[in-house]
């Protein structure tokens, strides 16, 4: 491990108002999203979709790092250029999802544990060889009747910390993602309570496993009411609750916090990130950035529809969402940006 290199990579990932693009959907998740739109669920379609993304002109203006899936990091553009090279040529740092998915936690109905530690040291060495400079591991915490349990929080936090330590050993910056899910009718306070307990436990484990906080990125959920909760707080209330929770639980040594979108609409994810930066940016020890999958990709996927003749408008939509989120990092996003094609780089 080279501590300075880890620090530099982590700082670069959240520098200059940019953020991460998560394009690391596993094959089952990607196929599920394709199926909803009638797109064939084949390896070639997944490759073509990712080629559309990585050839979006100007993407590097707003995106600092792209998280790939194992299948994708091994794929090439039609002209033979490896995706990793195409990404790096745009000034975007290639990253890789290294967990192998969330499975049922034994003895704890409804709860999950993320797997993937076995053989991880060897896989990290291979990904590093292929050009990846950071990695991601997602833990899933479910809120419901009597859950999350201590068992699910501790088991997931320990796995995250062991993954993070192995990443740093291999010279890769760990993106540590404990996701408290939005599914359910729980209120914002329940989400806050669960998120705070999870983050405190995760940082306790990161300390125990000797993870260097300056060389990592935290990827948490925002503090939100459940998707079906009747009371949905305002954008400013969500921003306040999220930042208050993070201030209580995330050490100042962490260079950046890059939120997942978790099923929020693309517009709300931008608006909430914007509100946090408007209200708190000058007073925070860490950068507040984004690491969205759906909130950047979904509009583009719906336009692309598996048809490459739609690639240009799909790339415009992708560029637009990435640009909106960059504006949100500066606290300069507004809903008006959604109605006027302010950001029109592809093909312009
Ligand atoms: P969403 O932004 O769609 O929640 O995805 C982020 C992610 O990387 C999930 O692991």
Q: Which residue has the tokens 């290199």?
A: 5
| Residue 21 Cβ contacting ligand 1 at under 6 Å | no
CA of 249 to the centre of ligand 1 (A): 21
**Structural domains in the chain plus CATH codes:** 3-343 (3.20.20.70)
Q: What is residue 323's three-state secondary structure? A: helix
Beta pairing partners, 290:
259
**Closest to 135 in 3D by CA, of 96, 100, 193:** 96
User: According to the model, what pLDDT value does residue 103 have?
Assistant: 98
pLDDT of residue 342: 55
Q: pTM here?
A: 0.97
Distance 145 CA to ligand 1 centre (A): 24
Please state the φ and ψ torsions of residue 292, each to the nearest 5 degrees: -90, 145
Annotated catalytic residue: which of 97, 112, 136, 219?
219
Q: Give 130-199 as a DSSP string.
A: HT--EEEEEEEE--BTTBS-HHHHHHHHHHHHHHHHHHHHTT-EEEEEEEE---SS--HHHHHHHHHHHH
Q: Is-catalytic flag, 219?
A: yes
Nearest CA, atom 4, ligand 1: 262
Q: Is the CB of residue 261 below 6 angstroms from any atom belonging to ligand 1? A: yes
In this prediction, residue 237 carries a pLDDT of 98
**Could you list the pLDDT tens digit for every one of the 348 residues in the chain?**
799 999 999 999 999 999 999 999 999 999 999 999 999 999 999 999 999 999 999 999 999 999 999 999 999 999 999 999 999 999 999 999 999 999 999 999 999 999 999 999 999 999 999 999 999 999 999 999 999 999 999 999 999 999 999 999 999 999 999 999 999 999 999 999 999 999 999 999 999 999 999 999 999 999 999 999 999 999 999 999 999 999 999 999 999 999 999 999 999 999 999 999 999 999 999 999 999 999 999 999 999 999 999 999 999 999 999 999 999 999 999 999 998 665 666 766
Half-sphere exposure of 299 (CA within 13 A, CB side): 19
Q: What distances in angstroms separate CA 131 from CA 66, 87, 125, 190, 289, one per listed residue?
A: 12, 10, 10, 40, 23
Of the candidates 190, 101, 182, 179, the residue with the CA atom closest to the CA atom of residue 140:
179
Catalytic site residue from 25, 51, 177, 179: 177
Q: Is 177 a catalytic residue?
A: yes
- Residue 339's pLDDT is 82
Q: Is the CB of 97 under 6 A from ligand 1?
A: no
């Amino acid at each position: 491990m080279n501590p300075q290199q880890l620090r530099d990579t982590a700082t670069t990932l959240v520098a200059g108002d940019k953020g991460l693009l998560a394009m690391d959907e596993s094959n089952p998740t990607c196929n599920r999203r394709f199926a909803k739109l009638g797109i064939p669920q084949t390896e070639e379609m997944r490759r073509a979709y990712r080629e559309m993304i990585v050839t979006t002109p100007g993407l590097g203006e707003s995106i600092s790092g792209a998280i790939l899936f194992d299948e994708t990091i091994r794929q090439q553009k039609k002209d033979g250029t490896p995706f990793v090279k195409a990404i790096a040529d745009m000034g975007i740092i290639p990253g890789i999802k290294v967990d192998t998915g969330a499975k049922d936690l034994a003895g704890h109905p409804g709860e999950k544990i993320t797997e993937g530690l076995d053989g991880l040291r060897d896989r990290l060495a291979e990904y590093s060889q292929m050009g990846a400079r950071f990695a991601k591991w997602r833990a899933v915490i479910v809120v419901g009747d009597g859950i999350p349990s201590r068992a699910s929080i501790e088991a997931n936090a320990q796995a995250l910390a062991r993954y993070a330590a192995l990443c740093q050993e291999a010279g890769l910056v760990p993106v540590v993602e404990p996701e408290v899910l939005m599914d359910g009718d729980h209120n914002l306070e329940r989400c806050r309570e669960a998120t705070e307990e999870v983050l405190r436990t995760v940082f306790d484990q990161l300390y125990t496993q000797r993870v260097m906080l300056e060389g990592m990125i935290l990827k948490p959920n925002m503090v939100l009411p459940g998707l079906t909760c009747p009371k949905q707080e305002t954008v400013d209330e969500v921003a306040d609750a999220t930042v208050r929770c993070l201030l209580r639980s995330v050490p100042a040594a962490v260079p950046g916090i890059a939120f997942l979108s978790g099923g929020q609409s693309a517009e709300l994810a931008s608006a909430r990130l914007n509100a946090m930066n408007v209200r708190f940016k000058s007073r925070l020890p860490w950068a507040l950035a984004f690491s969205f999958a759906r909130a950047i990709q979904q509009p583009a996927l719906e336009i692309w529809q598996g048809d490459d003749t739609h690639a240009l408008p799909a790339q415009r939509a992708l560029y637009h969402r990435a640009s909106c989120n960059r504006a949100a990092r500066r606290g300069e996003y507004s809903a008006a940006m959604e109605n006027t094609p302010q950001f029109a780089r592809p093909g312009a």
